[in-house]
A and B are shown apart, each in its own frame.
Chain A
Amino acid sequence: MSPLSTLTPPTVKKPSPARSRIRGGARYAPTLATLGLFIAMFAVGAGMYPSFLSGQVFLNLFIDNTFLIVLAVGMTFVILTGGIDLSVGAVVALSMMVSATLLQHGWNPAAVIILVLLIGGGLGLLMGLIIQYFDIQPFIVTLAGMFLARGLCYVISLDSIPVTDEFFTNMAQAQIPLPGDLFVSPGVLLALAIVAIAFFVLHHTRFGRTVYAIGGNEHSAMLMGLAVTRTKILVYALSGLCSAIAGILFSFYSLSGYSLAAQGMELDAIAAVVIGGTLLTGGTGYVLGSVVGVLVLGIVQTFIAYDGTLSSWWTKIVIGGLLLVFILLQRLFARRA
């Protein structure tokens, strides 16, 4: 047992600083690839349709997808911890139904919004508590949450409920002018503010770094004495809150509540996050990547709208293809590293 005869390599390869810098760069590679794809698609669009190359087309990607951006932000937190939240689409629909019904009964819009946020956050919190304390897979808990929220929509009403409240209609029609004859909706500013807050939280607070640590190795994070329990629960509460905000943004956009709204939107959010470069296993990814992921989904839809002859189902097919390509790319990157 003398140390001499214990055969281990005499020298351990210590990566040179240059090499580790390259590896450091590889961290951003999936997100940069998505950004490159987005720019390429925009360029192709501009080549095919002259009117494509306009600032407003770009801004419309945000205007038409505010709710998806907010959902993707919440989903990014969840996926970074290695979890998943399937309930977000149903919570969006529930938020729309609750606000449409209450507004119809003459509630104050501010009170409605606060209540909806509490419901969304509360549902998320509940799911987080169940996931953590009963040690159940997030997949199944949030699936149950999805059925619950969707079911509650039908309890409220089977029919579409129009929203006629003045504040909501104002928000739907409001345009914030930008230089160069461009405009955005107030929802875009809200969504971008949420993205900025999320970026800050993820990269500059202990909570955010704990999210990454849990995704990297939950057991290690626990042994390092990090607040694993609290963080995991909060992440689902946060996703629920984001779903509620997205529901309100979607109400601004559609001015109605309908039980069947936002069907499958949770999958769009997951797709955006993954295309944006976040690993489904957790620990790696950026919230800005998720925003680019949403833009990529948006531009696919814009393409189909411009073409005019293609069925909108082509959006799904293209997104499916992209998702596959990106997951394969991530696998390749992971092998190299």
Chain B
Amino acid sequence: MNEIVPVVEMTDIAIGFPGVKALDGVDFRLFQGEVHALMGENGAGKSTLIKALTGVYTIDSGTITVLGAPQQFSTPAESQAAGISTVYQEVNLCTNLTVEENVLLGREPRRRGTIDWKGVRSRTREVLAELHLGHVDPGSLLSSHSIAVQQLIAIARSVEINAKVLILDEPTSSLDADEVNQLFRVIRDLRDRGVAILFVSHFLEQVYEISDRMTVLRNGKLVGEYMTRDLSRMELISRMIGKDMEALAELDHAPARTRAGSAAGLPPFLETSGLGRKGSVSNVDLSIYPGEVVGLAGLLGAGRTEIARLIFGADRADEGSLKIKGDSQKLRSPRTAIDKRIGFCSEDRKEEGLIGDLSVRDNLVLAMQASKGWARRIPRRVQDELVAEYIATLDIRPANPDALIRNLSGGNQQKVLLARWLVTSPELLILDEPTRGIDIGAKTQIQKLVNKLADEGMSILFISSELEEVLRLSDRIAVIKDRAMVAEIKNDDVSVEDVMTVIAGGAQ
């Protein structure tokens, strides 16, 4: 990395939204043939910086220089024309079209103004072969492929335009280890060809594996630019969260708490036996005592979310029984479950949880107002107190009750969603992937909160893809495999390997 001219140079960038200053005086450089990681907590401004570079947002001030030429991007097309290509976390392709169209859409080879479909087919084959995707049929619908393949096809699209800069925004968040390796092989290939790659990920190990250099942001400001090999993980994390590691260490070494519920002989809050639904999950025997955290461990797609939906009444069970505080219940709808004081923080916070165009305050009050009935309006003073309290307890940033949800980062949205349920003081809280896609600081806060809630007597059903997290927090672990519950493990000195063994072979 000599001091050659950077491919991309952003200087003194500022972007603001109503109620949020997303970026403030940030500098960023990206060189040819490097993988550069953009690091920071949620809300640090990573996504905003990327969107500034890709023309989705227009910058309020500052300069962007690409290959030595000053640029003023106001649409993604302009940014792409300058050689910048982006693959987003949610694959931004059209699933209703074929693979080849997605690779070449808008740039199809043409003869006299009409698309040369043979040319499209052969060009797509070439590009797919370069990315070791020769087995993908260019004529198949994009929707028939897994997210991992779709993501690689999105990269194929960038390769096709000979992008000078490739931005990968959380590309690995829904990939398994093999797929990550395949992706990294492609990234290294491209880097060696001289492409400048900007990589954003919450997986520290992956960042250390793939990146050469990193830029750290915090609260919309630049912390610094470092060579990856010169910066230890601890140093990186403390720069990202802006405080030392005590908070994290504390949680890791937290002594196993003795949980009140089962010990004190209280009846379980929730008890299911043989609960199931045709075509969904079967054979769920769960019991959750007050003050207890029960973790659901299992592969993605094993049926974890389906179990949560059954318990919450979002899907109706058609076999088995469910008891709440010893009484048999039929949960016909979430409405009934909420009446029984069950809360469900869904996995997909954008689609199922929050209303992006309302403010933090409105989203918080919504759940409580709904439970009180619309006729009795909650006085503004009470609202303000509540909102202020939760913003403080959960450290929601920005601490502005009137900020619109959609302008908040993922981690902070998650906190608002949590707060929304806490406002209704549930007795059982189902948390489905509450820490996915959020940064380590927010993650720690949420884990701490789960501990605290359980200590206060709440029952918690905790679902996460990160096994360490499940082990760290749960008193008992229910293992889910192939859409059925196969084992229940009491969590004393259980290791990740133990659980993996159960998942791998424990069933028969």
Task: Give A1-44 interface residues, CB cut-off 8 Å to B.
Answer: 1-15, 17, 19-21, 23-24, 27
B299 with A7: CB separation less than 8 A: yes
Task: Give bound CA distance, A221 to B96, whole Å.
Answer: 12
Closest to B298 in A: A7
Within 8 Å of chain A (Cβ to Cβ): is B363? no
Asked if A216 meets B205 with Cβ closer than 8 Å, knowing A13-B146, A205-B113, A225-B80, the reply is no
Q: How far is the CB of A289 from chain B (nearest CB, A)?
A: 15
B204 with A1: CB separation less than 8 A: yes
Task: Give bound CA distance, A7 to B467, whole Å.
Answer: 7
Task: Give bound CA distance, A280 to B199, whole Å.
Answer: 38
B106 with A217: CB separation less than 8 A: no
Within 8 Å of chain A (Cβ to Cβ): is B446? no
Task: Give bound CA distance, A5 to B77, whole Å.
Answer: 39
Within 8 Å of chain B (Cβ to Cβ): is A155? no
Q: How far is the CB of A90 from chain B (nearest CB, A)?
A: 31
A205 with B97: CB separation less than 8 A: no
Chain B residues, CB < 8 A from A9:
176, 299-301
Within 8 Å of chain B (Cβ to Cβ): is A220? yes
Chain A residues, CB < 8 A from B148:
12
Asked if A24 meets B96 with Cβ closer than 8 Å, knowing A1-B205, A3-B180, A204-B115, the reply is no
Pick the contact of A15 from B76, B114, B144 — CB < 8 Å? B144
Task: Give bound CA distance, A23 to B203, whole Å.
Answer: 35
Task: Give bound CA distance, A83 to B77, whole Å.
Answer: 23
A225 with B146: CB separation less than 8 A: no
Stretch of A206-214, A234-242, A297-305 on the interface side: A206-214
Chain A residues, CB < 8 A from B113:
205
Cross-chain pair count, CB within 8 angstroms: 150
A220 with B115: CB separation less than 8 A: no
A7 with B297: CB separation less than 8 A: yes
Closest to A281 in B: B96
Within 8 Å of chain B (Cβ to Cβ): is A337? yes
A223 with B88: CB separation less than 8 A: yes
Chain B residues, CB < 8 A from A217:
92-96
Chain B residues, CB < 8 A from A6:
176-177, 203, 465-467
Within 8 Å of chain A (Cβ to Cβ): is B488? no
Task: Give B61-102 interface residues, CB cut-off 8 Å to A.
Answer: 75-77, 79-81, 86, 88, 92-97, 101
Q: How far is the CB of A227 from chain B (nearest CB, A)?
A: 8
Against B, the Cβ 8 Å flags (1 = close, 0 = not) of A217-232 are 1011111111100000
Task: Give B258-290 interface residues, CB cut-off 8 Å to A.
Answer: none
B205 with A7: CB separation less than 8 A: no
A8 with B299: CB separation less than 8 A: yes
Q: How far is the CB of A185 from chain B (nearest CB, A)?
A: 30
Chain B residues, CB < 8 A from A11:
178
Stretch of B123-131, B135-143, B310-318, B343-351 on the interface side: B135-143
Within 8 Å of chain A (Cβ to Cβ): is B105? yes
Chain A residues, CB < 8 A from B467:
5-7
Q: How far is the CB of A259 from chain B (nearest CB, A)?
A: 40
Q: How far is the CB of A294 from chain B (nearest CB, A)?
A: 24
Asked if A220 meets B92 with Cβ closer than 8 Å, knowing A12-B176, A225-B77, the reply is yes
Chain B residues, CB < 8 A from A10:
176, 178, 299
A24 with B146: CB separation less than 8 A: no
A19 with B106: CB separation less than 8 A: no
Q: How far is the CB of A228 from chain B (nearest CB, A)?
A: 9
Within 8 Å of chain B (Cβ to Cβ): is A215? yes
How large, as a class, is the contact surface on chain B? 35 or more
B94 with A3: CB separation less than 8 A: no
Chain B residues, CB < 8 A from A204:
114-115, 117
Closest to A5 in B: B467
Pick the contact of B205 from A3, A27, A200, A209 — CB < 8 Å? A3
A20 with B205: CB separation less than 8 A: no
Within 8 Å of chain B (Cβ to Cβ): is A276? no
B146 with A8: CB separation less than 8 A: no
Pick the contact of A216 from B86, B96, B135, B149 — CB < 8 Å? B96
Chain A residues, CB < 8 A from B146:
12-14
How large, as a class, is the contact surface on chain A? 35 or more
Pick the contact of A212 from B97, B139, B468 — CB < 8 Å? B97
Against A, the Cβ 8 Å flags (1 = close, 0 = not) of B439-472 are 0000000000000000000000000011110000
Task: Give bound CA distance, A41 to B298, whole Å.
Answer: 53
Chain B residues, CB < 8 A from A223:
54, 56, 76, 86, 88, 92
Task: Give A93-115 interface residues, CB cut-off 8 Å to B.
Answer: none
A224 with B157: CB separation less than 8 A: yes
Chain A residues, CB < 8 A from B180:
3
Asked if A27 meets B141 with Cβ closer than 8 Å, knowing A8-B176, A204-B115, the reply is yes
Within 8 Å of chain A (Cβ to Cβ): is B423? no
Within 8 Å of chain B (Cβ to Cβ): is A87? no
B466 with A23: CB separation less than 8 A: no
Within 8 Å of chain B (Cβ to Cβ): is A290? no
Chain A residues, CB < 8 A from B298:
7
Closest to A337 in B: B143
Task: Give bound CA distance, A7 to B178, whole Å.
Answer: 12
Closest to B209 in A: A3
Within 8 Å of chain B (Cβ to Cβ): is A247? no
Pick the contact of A209 from B105, B137, B500 — CB < 8 Å? B105
B76 with A222: CB separation less than 8 A: yes
Pick the contact of A219 from B92, B108, B176, B206 — CB < 8 Å? B92
Task: Give B158-205 interface residues, CB cut-off 8 Å to A.
Answer: 174-180, 203-205
B300 with A7: CB separation less than 8 A: yes
Chain B residues, CB < 8 A from A256:
none
Task: Give bound CA distance, A6 to B101, whole Å.
Answer: 33
Chain B residues, CB < 8 A from A225:
75-77, 79-81, 106
Closest to A221 in B: B94
Closest to B301 in A: A9
Q: How far is the CB of A16 from chain B (nearest CB, A)?
A: 10
Closest to B106 in A: A226
B106 with A17: CB separation less than 8 A: no
Task: Give bound CA distance, A277 to B76, whole Å.
Answer: 33
Closest to A200 in B: B114
Task: Give bound CA distance, A271 to B298, whole Å.
Answer: 47
Binding site for A on B (CB under 8 A): 54, 56, 75-77, 79-81, 86, 88, 92-97, 101, 105-106, 108, 110, 113-115, 117, 135, 137, 139-141, 143-146, 148-149, 157, 174-180, 203-206, 297-301, 465-468, 496, 500, 503
Could you list 7 A-B pairs, sorted by A, with CB under 8 Å? A6-B176, A7-B299, A8-B175, A15-B145, A20-B144, A209-B106, A220-B94
Interface pairs A-B: 8 shortest CB-CB = A216-B94, A8-B176, A216-B96, A225-B77, A20-B140, A283-B96, A220-B92, A12-B146
Binding site for B on A (CB under 8 A): 1-15, 17, 19-21, 23-24, 27, 200, 204-206, 209-210, 212-213, 215-217, 219-227, 283-284, 337
Contacts A4-B177, A9-B300 known; 11 new A-B pairs at CB < 8 A: A1-B466, A1-B468, A6-B176, A7-B299, A7-B503, A24-B140, A212-B96, A212-B97, A220-B94, A223-B88, A223-B92
